[in-house]
């Protein structure tokens, strides 16, 4: 598995020496994700070098760098672990509690007045509590990233990351909820029991097919919006990218033939949104017969992998299988979105070299561009359900905001999420009174 490896490399100062070290990494096919000087001395510099590389390749790389005689790897950086130390989120008050008057207002005895008011009129909770600004991020850890079923606690860093992004990008509070069960009914009952604490529920990294049933049942039972991000957040960003890619490639998107490779949670979510958007010609493939049946229920046609690659103008892959798409399968002018993380079905540069008009992977087309604005928007409009119109509005907003030659906009730009939120709120058809 390819991972970001952060190395400290000591190089004796001299013209071209850093370039020789970087050339070794490049020749081995590693992507250089980051480079900065950590310290400089009179005759040497220590560089922090971040490489996207296979876990087991480090020893060979270290030896080749040492063979230069003027450079050596002196250690690995713990930067990633340092940033996780103590967790990535915490709860903080919105007001300073710094004197007895404030204490009596926010706690006893003053808080009783607010409790009584909400008891008399439940709608006041949206104004006088944080419920309408709080999202439950729920997982049972059965489909964490590309790591699979590693359990809820091992998935906590991902859930904290989601919560941190909600807070940073849209000022929403999010609480990770880890459920130690693979029983769909138990998950549903647990979420229903705690739902009064939250304005919305984001389901995350729950494996298919259970994720479909869990989401459907929660939507039926709860009066707050529920969204499985692996399905719908991914679908929104994918559609946004396709709108721009098709325009640049001079393809009429609604008339294109879209081929989907992999029909799990993300694949089915994408298929449903493409159908809602108006793309009728969709073929797909998956090894799971139940997944194929679900795809056919959305109006798609099942084909073999080879047939999908041969007949589709646009390819969307969400299999989790590294290298599944071979360069010789790529047809001239195709749009290829190989979205599996952490490793794609085909690297974008390999797809482009093979003749693709556009190619991208899950690092650039990632649901982080969608989910914060989706939830901000539906909570702002007091919506109960995410509709297809809302998801399409979010996708079109992302497409409009992408810069020249980009498929999607910068996910760290807060203005992007604010615009997505406005689009979702404007498309909200059923606001609560």
CATH assignment at residue 192? 3.40.50.10380
Contact 365, 211 (CB under 8 A): no
- Any bridge partners for residue 34, and if so which? 50
* Residue 76 reports pLDDT greater than 60: yes
∠ CA 97-100-104, rounded to 5°: 85
Comparing 295-299, 304-308, 339-343, 382-386, the range with the smallest average pLDDT is 339-343
For strand 173-178 and strand 71-76, is the pairing parallel, antiparallel, or unpaired? unpaired
Comparing 64-78, 178-192, 384-398, the range with the smallest average pLDDT is 64-78
From the CB of residue 149, how many other CB atoms can be counted at a distance below 10 Å? 14
The CATH number given to whatever domain includes residue 16 is 3.30.70.260
Q: Is 231 contained in some domain?
A: no
Statement to judge: residues 48 and 134 lie in one domain: no
Statement to judge: residues 120 and 149 lie in one domain: no
Contact 298, 275 (CB under 8 A): yes
Q: Is 74 contained in some domain?
A: yes
User: How far is Cα 200 from Cα 432, in angstroms, rounded to an integer?
Assistant: 14
Q: Is 229 contained in some domain?
A: no
Statement to judge: residues 170 and 109 lie in one domain: no
User: How far is Cα 154 from Cα 339, in angstroms, rounded to an integer?
Assistant: 23
Instruction: Give mean pLDDT, residues 160-176.
Output: 97
Contact 192, 221 (CB under 8 A): yes
Statement to judge: residues 335 and 203 lie in one domain: no
| pLDDT single digits (tens) 33-61 | 899 999 998 899 999 999 888 767 778 88
What is the pTM for the complete model shown?
0.88
Q: Return all residues near 43 (Cβ < 8 A) that are at least 6 apart.
A: 12, 13
Comparing CA positions, the residue from 324, 329, 291 lying closest to residue 311 is: 329
Residue 52's alpha-carbon distances to 64, 191, 255, 341, 350, in angstroms, are 17, 37, 37, 13, 16
Mean pLDDT estimate for the chain: 93
Instruction: Point out the domain boundary residue: 224, 244, 269.
Output: 224
Statement to judge: residues 211 and 348 lie in one domain: no
Contact 276, 300 (CB under 8 A): no
Instruction: Point out the domain boundary residue: 224, 253, 284.
Output: 224
**Which sequence positions are flagged as catalytic?**
107, 162
* Residue 89 reports pLDDT greater than 60: yes
Q: Is 199 contained in some domain?
A: yes
| 291, burial (CB in 10 Å: exposed 0-12, middle 13-18, buried 19+) | buried
Statement to judge: residues 391 and 267 lie in one domain: yes
Q: Give the per-residue pLDDT at 433.
A: 36
Q: For residue 190, what pLDDT band results from cuts at 50, 70 and 90? A: very high
Tally of structural domains, the chain: 4
∠ CA 264-335-390, rounded to 5°: 55
Q: For residue 363, what pLDDT band results from cuts at 50, 70 and 90? A: confident
Comparing CA positions, the residue from 310, 322, 368, 367 lying closest to residue 347 is: 322
Tokens (6 digits) for 369: 């561009």
Q: For residue 431, what pLDDT band results from cuts at 50, 70 and 90? A: very low
Comparing CA positions, the residue from 192, 173, 178 lying closest to residue 372 is: 173
Q: Is 306 contained in some domain?
A: yes
Q: Is 25 contained in some domain?
A: yes
Q: Is 230 contained in some domain?
A: no
φ/ψ (deg, to 5) at 247? -65, -45
Statement to judge: residues 136 and 7 lie in one domain: no
User: How far is Cα 341 from Cα 362, in angstroms, rounded to an integer?
Assistant: 6
Comparing CA positions, the residue from 17, 19, 3 lying closest to residue 51 is: 3
Tokens (6 digits) for 9: 């490399």
Statement to judge: residues 330 and 255 lie in one domain: yes
∠ CA 356-362-367, rounded to 5°: 130
| pLDDT single digits (tens) 289-310 | 999 999 999 899 999 999 999 9
Tokens (6 digits) for 316: 């969307």
Give me the long-range contacts of 143-146 (CB less than 8 A, separation at least 24): 143/205, 143/206, 143/207, 143/208, 143/211, 143/230, 143/265, 144/205, 145/205, 145/341, 145/342, 146/1, 146/320, 146/340, 146/341, 146/342, 146/343
Instruction: Give mean pLDDT, residues 387-401.
Output: 97
Question: DSSP assignment of 380-399, as one string?
Answer: HTTBSS--HHHHHHHHHHHH
Sheet holding 282-285, edge to edge: 301-302, 282-285, 258-261, 314-317, 335-338, 358-361
Percent of the chain with pLDDT over 70: 98
Comparing CA positions, the residue from 377, 406, 402, 401 lying closest to residue 389 is: 377
* Residue 432 reports pLDDT greater than 80: no
Tokens (6 digits) for 363: 């690092």
Q: Which domain holds residue 413?
A: 236-433
Statement to judge: residues 202 and 304 lie in one domain: no
The CATH number given to whatever domain includes residue 247 is 3.40.50.720
Statement to judge: residues 355 and 399 lie in one domain: yes
Q: Give the per-residue pLDDT at 429.
A: 65
Q: Is 337 contained in some domain?
A: yes
φ/ψ (deg, to 5) at 315? -115, 130
Q: Give the per-residue pLDDT at 268.
A: 96
* Residue 247 reports pLDDT greater than 70: yes
Statement to judge: residues 268 and 346 lie in one domain: yes
Statement to judge: residues 186 and 300 lie in one domain: no
């Amino acid at each position: 598995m390819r991972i970001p490896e952060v190395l400290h490399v000591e190089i004796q100062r001299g013209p071209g020496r850093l370039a020789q070290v970087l050339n070794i990494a490049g020749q081995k096919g590693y992507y250089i994700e980051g480079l900065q000087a950590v310290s400089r001395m009179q005759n040497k510099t220590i560089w922090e070098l971040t490489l996207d590389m296979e876990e087991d390749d480090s020893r060979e790389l270290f030896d080749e760098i040492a063979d230069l005689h003027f450079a050596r790897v002196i250690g690995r950086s713990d930067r990633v672990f340092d940033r996780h130390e103590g967790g990535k989120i915490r709860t903080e008050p919105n007001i300073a509690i710094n004197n007895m008057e404030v204490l009596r207002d926010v706690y006893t005895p003053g808080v009783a007045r607010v409790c009584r008011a909400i008891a008399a009129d439940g709608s006041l909770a949206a104004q006088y509590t944080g419920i309408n600004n709080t999202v439950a991020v729920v997982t049972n850890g059965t489909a964490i990233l590309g790591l699979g079923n590693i359990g809820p606690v091992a998935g906590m860093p991902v859930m904290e990351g989601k919560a941190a992004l909600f807070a940073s990008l849209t000022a929403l509070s999010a609480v990770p909820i880890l459920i130690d069960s693979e029983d769909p009914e138990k998950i549903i009952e647990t979420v229903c029991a705690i739902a009064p604490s939250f304005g919305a529920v984001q389901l995350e990294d729950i494996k298919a097919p259970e994720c479909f049933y869990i989401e459907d049942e929660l939507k039926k039972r709860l009066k707050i919006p529920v969204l499985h991000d692996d399905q719908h957040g991914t679908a929104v960003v994918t559609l946004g990218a396709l709108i721009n890619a098709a325009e640049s490639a001079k393809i009429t998107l609604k008339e294109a033939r879209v081929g989907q490779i992999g029909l799990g949670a993300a694949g089915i979510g994408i298929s449903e949104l493409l159908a809602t958007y108006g793309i009728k010609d969709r073929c797909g493939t998956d090894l799971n017969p139940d997944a194929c049946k679900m795809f056919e229920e959305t109006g798609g046609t099942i084909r073999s992998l080879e047939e999908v690659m041969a007949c589709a103008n646009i390819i969307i892959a969400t299999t989790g299988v590294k290298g599944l798409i071979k360069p010789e399968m790529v047809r001239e002018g195709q749009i290829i979105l190989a979205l599996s993380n952490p490793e794609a079905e085909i690297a974008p540069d390999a797809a482009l070299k093979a003749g693709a008009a556009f190619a991208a992977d899950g690092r650039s087309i990632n649901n982080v561009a969608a989910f914060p604005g989706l939830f901000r928007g539906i909570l702002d409009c007091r919506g109960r359900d995410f509709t297809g119109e809302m998801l399409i509005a979010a996708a079109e907003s992302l497409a409009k905001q992408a810069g020249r030659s980009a498929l999607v906009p910068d996910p760290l730009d807060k203005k992007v999420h604010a615009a997505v939120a406005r689009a979702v709120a404007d498309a909200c058809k059923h606001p609560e009174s």
